[in-house]
Amino acid sequence: MTSVQLASNTQPLYSPISPNGQLPWWHHAIIYQIYPRSFQDTNGDGVGDLRGIQQRLPYLQALGIDAIWITPFYRSPMADFGYDVSDYCDIDPIFGTMADFDAMLATAHELGIRVVVDFVPNHSSDQHPWFIESRSSRDNPKRDWYIWRDGKDDGQPPNNWEAFFHGSAWTLDPTTDQYYLHLFLDEQPDLNWRNPELAQAMKQVLHFWLQKGVDGFRLDAITTMMKAPDFPDMPPDDPRFQGGLLLRLVDVHNYPDLHPILREFRQIVDSYPNQPILVGETGCADFNELMDFGGREALDEIHLPMNLKTPWFAWDAHVLKQAFTDYYTALSKGAVPSLVLGNHDQGRLASRYGVEHHRNANMLLLTLWGVPTMYYGDELGMLDGLILPEQRQDPFVGHDDYHGLGRDPGRTPMQWDATAYAGFSTVEPWLPVQTTFLSNVAEQEQDPSSTLNFCKRLIELRRSSPALHRGSIQFLETTEPSLLAYQREFEGIRNLIIINFADTSCTLDLSNMTDRVEFWLSSRMDVPTFDTVSSIFIRPYESLLLKLG
Ligand code: GLC
C-alpha cells in the first residue's frame, strides 16, 4: 500500500474575476447535447422528434442540467442527417412541425431549461432553393451565393483540395459546366459569405430563431466559413499534408475575414435581452489559436469556443493534467473554458475510455473549471453500439473513417427502459439499440448506486457549491502518477477532487493540506470508511469529491 502525498505547491490557474458579482447564466451552466434522431420517438417512425424532446424535458430537469443543445432539426434531405439544411427556418417533417418546436421551447423555459440550437453556416443542402437557383445558370442572381469556379485547362477541378468527408472538394455541375466547392459532402455546397446578400440572408436566420426565444446557437464548422479567396493549390509535398487529407488548413480555416462576421453574430445575439450565447464548433491547431474565436482581448466573438481537442487526449492522469493546464494557461483574460469529452462525432465515454473509467470521466467533466457539455446517454454510461455494415447510416468515409465504423456507434437510441427498442420507439429504430440497453434510465433510477444517480448527485453538488461552479482551480502534485488531483476554491471553501486511473488502491496523506476532510461523493456511490482527520483511502478506478475543512 502506497502512501501518497498531495501538495499544492503550484499557483491556481484561475482565480474568480468578480468574486462576488452575479455571473451571466452560461458561465456556470451545464449544457446537455441532444441528437434528436436518437432521443425519443413519439410518432412511431423509428426516428426521434421534437415532441419526444418535449416529453423528456422533466427527466432533464431532474438531472439538473441548465441548457440543451439540439443538433439540426431543420428541413433537410438528410444526406448528413440534418447538417445539410434545405430550409433554415422550417422544421423537417421527420422531427415534427414548427408548432412542436414552439411547444417544446415553451415547456423547456417553464422548466428552467434554456435551448441552444444548431446553426450551419458553412454550407447548405444542394436541395436548398438558393442552390437550386444558383446552379441554374451562370447569371442567376444567386449564382454568387455559392462558390463556383472553372476547372483547370486540362479539365481538372479548380484546385487539388479534398473534402473532409471524401474525394475532391469540387463537383462539376454539367448545367453550367463549372465546379462548386463543398468541404464536406457533394450534397453540402459551401455558402459564399463574401456575398453581402447571402450574408444578410443568413443573419436573418439568426434573428428568426432569436425572435422565437432561443437561448443561443452552436455554430457548426464555423472555422472554415471563409476560404483563401484565390483558392491556391496545395503543394503536394507540404508537410502539413496529413492522413491523406489534401486540405491545407491555412487556406480554409480561421481565415482573417472570419472574425468580423463572428463579431456581427455576437452583436446580433447581444441585442436580445435573454442573453443568448454562441457556442462554436472550433477545431484548432492549438489552445492559443482557440482564443482567436472568442475574440482575444475584447471577447467580442464566440462566447464558448468549444475545446474539441480534449476528446482526443489519452485517458491518462499526466496527459490530462498537462492538457488542462495548457488550456487554462492559454485562456484569454475573462474567457470561460469549454469542457467537452464526447459528442455525436466522437462516440461514447464508456467505450473510448473504458467502462471502469466512465464515471470518472463524468467526474472530470463536471468538476473542472468551465462549462461542461454532456452528450446524451453518457450520464448512463451508454456504450457505442454495434453497427453491422448493412446497418450503416453515416455518410462519412473520410480519411480515417473513425476506425472504419463511421459515427453511427455513438448515435444509437437513448436507453429509457427495458421494453422493446429501449422505450425509444415502438418500431425498429433508424439505428439499432445498443445491446446493453438493459442498463437504462428506468433501471438506473431505481438503483441508488447507478451511474445516473452518480451524475445527478454530482450535478447537485456542483450547483450548490460555488467552489465547484465558479471557484479557482489548482492542480496538485502527487507522488502517485496514476492519480489526478485538483482543488477548487471559492471564498475559503475548498473542494478536492481525486481521480484514480489505476487498478490499484492507495492511501492519501492530506496532512499538509488540511486537518479535516469531509466526504461528499465517491464514484462507487457508497460512503467509504476513512479517517476524517487527514488521510483517505482511494480504491481502484475510484474518484472522490471531498471538502477540505
Ligand atoms: C460538423 C458536425 C458534423 C457534420 C459536419 C458537417 O462537424 O458536427 O456532424 O457532419 O459538421 O456539417
pLDDT in tens, 348-375: 999 999 999 999 999 999 999 999 999 9
CB atoms within 10 A of CB 344: 18
Nearest-atom number in ligand 1 for the CA of 344 is: 9
Q: Could you tell me where the DSSP H helices lie in 379-514?
A: 401-404, 441-446, 451-464, 466-470
Q: For the chain, which residues score pLDDT lower than 50?
A: 1, 243-244
Task: Judge contact between 537 and 500, C-beta under 8 A.
Answer: no
Read off the DSSP letter of residue 37: G
Residue 477: its H or E element: strand 477-478
DSSP 271-298: TSTT--EEEE----SSHHHHGGGGTTTT
What's the pLDDT at 511? 84
Pocket probe for ligand 1: among 33, 74, 81, 83, the residue whose CB has the most ligand atoms within 8 Å is: 83
Q: Whose CA is nearest to atom 6 of ligand 1?
A: 83
CA of 430 to the centre of ligand 1 (A): 19
Distance CA 121, CA 224 (A): 10
With cell 488550456, the residue in question is 327
CA of 220 to the centre of ligand 1 (A): 6
Task: Write the CA distances from 410 to 347, 348, 351, 438, integer angstroms.
Answer: 4, 6, 9, 17
Nearest-atom number in ligand 1 for the CA of 83 is: 12
Q: Is the pTM of the predicted complex or chain greater than 0.85?
A: yes
Measuring CA to CA, which residue among 382, 344, 335 is closest to residue 361?
382
Pocket of ligand 1 (CB under 6 A): 80, 83, 120, 184, 220-221, 281, 344-345
Residue count of the chain, please give it: 549
Task: Judge contact between 481 and 317, C-beta under 8 A.
Answer: yes
Task: Judge contact between 295 and 302, C-beta under 8 A.
Answer: yes
What's the pLDDT at 449? 96
CA of 281 to the centre of ligand 1 (A): 9
Domains and CATH numbers, the chain: 24-123+195-458 (3.20.20.80), 129-181 (3.90.400.10)
Distance CA 122, CA 222 (A): 7
What's the pLDDT at 1? 43
Q: Is the dihedral of CA 394, 398, 402, 404 positive or negative?
A: positive
Give the torsion through C-alpha atoms of 63, 68, 69, 72, to 10 deg: 100
Nearest-atom number in ligand 1 for the CA of 84 is: 12
CA angle in degrees (0–180, nearest 5) for 274-275-280: 135
Give catalytic status of residue 154 as yes or no. Answer: no
Nearest-atom number in ligand 1 for the CA of 120 is: 12
CA of 445 to the centre of ligand 1 (A): 33
Q: Whose CA is nearest to atom 4 of ligand 1?
A: 83
Q: Is the dihedral of CA 328, 332, 335, 339 positive or negative?
A: negative
CA of 238 to the centre of ligand 1 (A): 26
CA of 337 to the centre of ligand 1 (A): 22
How do 74-75 and 87-91 pair as beta strands? antiparallel
Q: Which of 220, 394, 480, 542 is flagged as catalytic?
A: 220
Nearest-atom number in ligand 1 for the CA of 343 is: 8
Q: Which of 80, 162, 173, 281 is flagged as catalytic?
A: 281
Give catalytic status of residue 297 as yes or no. Answer: no
Distance CA 525, CA 474 (A): 25
Task: Judge contact between 452 and 376, C-beta under 8 A.
Answer: no
Q: Whose CA is nearest to atom 9 of ligand 1?
A: 345
Nearest-atom number in ligand 1 for the CA of 80 is: 10
Pocket probe for ligand 1: among 182, 225, 345, the residue whose CB has the most ligand atoms within 8 Å is: 345
**Chain centroid to CA 125:** 22
Residue 494: its H or E element: strand 493-500
Pocket probe for ligand 1: among 220, 306, 308, 399, the residue whose CB has the most ligand atoms within 8 Å is: 220
CA of 120 to the centre of ligand 1 (A): 9
